[in-house]
Amino acid sequence: MGNASVMAIPPLGSHELGTEAIPSDHYSSQAFFEQEKENIFKKTWLMAGRESDVAEHGDYITYFIDALEVSIIITRDKHGQVNAFYNACTHRGAHVLTEPCGKAKFMTCGFHGWVFDAEGQLADVPGEDLFGDFDKSKLGLKPVSVDVWGGFVFINLDPKPSVPLKEYLQPLNESFDKYLGNKDWTWSYGWRSTFNANWKLLVDAQIEGYHVDQTHRNTIAGAIPGTYAPADVYPDSIGVPARVCAYRPEEMMGIQTDVALLSAKHGATSLYTKSENEFSADDGAGVLNDDHPLWIFDAYLLFPNVVLFIQKGQILVQRTLPISPDKCLWEVDFFHTGEIENFGQLFNSEQGRIQIRDVLTEDLYTAEGIQMNFNAGIIKEIHINRQEIPIRAYYHRLMSAMKGTGE
């Protein structure tokens, strides 16, 4: 970890992060939402994809922020540099690229055929002589701030970010950058959908363990009871407000199904058993907490909209992007190291995939119900206990950003 100070769950009676209720209209107000767009999504580092998505010259992905109606092109040029640009042709403003991903060493606008290279320069204009006095060098794609950390590509719509990405992500240090950036990580599976909930609600659900015993009583409560999910907050960090750790109990309190028990024999995905067959990108020194025999994973909140779960041999990334005050795009992606070598490992992987699908569905269903009550004005404020301290740290970071004091 870096040098940022750490504060664990405060003792009873502590008011370190305050005790005030959080107004529910922060999850439903159009006015508050407009401020979020201006002060957060136009000014902070946003995880846009994986560097391996643009592994070679000409590979590209497009990243769309619905709430801002902004489309970004991320591509790699002939020098190996990752670049980002607004997906807007400098002729008459059309989207240059319309696919979510692809390969194009030269990007051609489908409207009139203007051509741009992977460095954003305008390379060719059909009928250039029709424009008279014309300087192509001044009409390249408009650049967007971009950087790579831990194998992930981040963009920032601020032309001059006030804080470099590496500093923004402290206390996640070079050990995290190296571990997460290891090229052995490969995408395994994921989901993407829209939900009728404020984007922050889907973050809140992943950064506290208090809800596990009830919300997940039919899935993982026996494997990760809420009392086994301690939290740390990082008051000095700009981009990493908090972390939640998950541990198995000494004695299982849930029902271990035959499927779960069988799955546990073949890999690390099962929550019930620590298998000897775990994959690992490297030794994970300074990142993994696997010297603790009951450790499962750590979940880091990357402000404003990412929860990064780190487990030996597996990482899970949840991202949410706002669409409106009560609607968001939700994405989750799983990455593993190593290849599945036999049916047992395949069985383990599939059992884990179905299990986490069911767990996330429980969270998403709950969030939509909460949003209904917020929209109806039934609940005016929410109350946070000590075990939910990451939500309070998240709230403090949010309000600092809204006031322009977060960075």
Q: pLDDT tens track of the chain, all 407 residues?
A: 544 444 455 554 445 677 889 999 999 999 999 999 999 999 999 999 999 999 999 999 999 999 999 999 999 999 999 999 999 999 999 999 999 999 999 999 999 999 999 999 999 999 999 998 889 999 999 999 999 999 999 999 999 999 999 999 999 999 999 999 998 899 989 999 999 999 999 999 999 988 888 888 888 777 776 666 788 899 899 999 999 998 887 765 444 555 555 555 555 444 433 444 444 445 577 888 877 888 889 999 999 999 999 988 889 999 999 999 999 999 999 998 877 778 777 777 787 888 889 888 998 999 999 999 999 999 999 999 988 999 999 999 999 999 875 55
Number of domains in the chain: 2
Q: Are residues 246 and 348 in the same domain?
A: yes
Q: Which residue(s) pair with 70 in the sheet?
A: 65
Beta strands, E only, 66-168:
70-76, 82-86, 101-103, 106-108, 115-117, 122-124, 145-149, 152-156
Q: Are residues 151 and 191 in the same domain?
A: no
Q: Are residues 261 and 300 in the same domain?
A: yes
Q: Are residues 203 and 294 in the same domain?
A: yes
Domain annotation covers residue 217 = yes
Question: Closest by alpha carbon to 367, among 204, 192, 193?
Answer: 204
pTM of the model: 0.89
User: Which CATH number do you get for residue 389?
Assistant: 3.90.380.10
**Burial letters 47-64, b for 16+ CB under 10 A, else e:** bbbbbbbbeeebbbbbbe
Q: Are residues 210 and 331 in the same domain?
A: yes
> Tokens representing 303?
């402000």
**What is the number of helices (H) and of strands (E) in the chain?**
8, 20
Q: Are residues 32 and 56 in the same domain?
A: no
Q: Are residues 212 and 265 in the same domain?
A: yes
User: Which CATH number do you get for residue 116?
Assistant: 2.102.10.10
Q: Are residues 140 and 250 in the same domain?
A: no
Q: Are residues 295 and 387 in the same domain?
A: yes
Alpha-carbon separation of residue 166 from 80, 143, 152, 302, 379 (angstroms): 20, 20, 12, 12, 39
- From CA 241, how far away is CA 255, in angstroms rounded? 34
Contact yes or no for 333/74 (Cβ under 8 A) = no
Domain annotation covers residue 180 = no
Q: Are residues 200 and 305 in the same domain?
A: yes
Question: Closest by alpha carbon to 98, among 73, 67, 69?
Answer: 73
Domain annotation covers residue 175 = no
- Parent domain of 61: 46-156
- From CA 222, how far away is CA 170, in angstroms rounded? 33
Contact yes or no for 284/155 (Cβ under 8 A) = no
Q: Are residues 213 and 269 in the same domain?
A: yes
Q: Are residues 198 and 80 in the same domain?
A: no
- From CA 348, how far away is CA 36, in angstroms rounded? 41
Helix residue ranges, H only, 193-342 = 199-204, 212-215, 258-264
Domain annotation covers residue 347 = yes
Contacts of 130 (CB under 8 A, 6+ apart): none
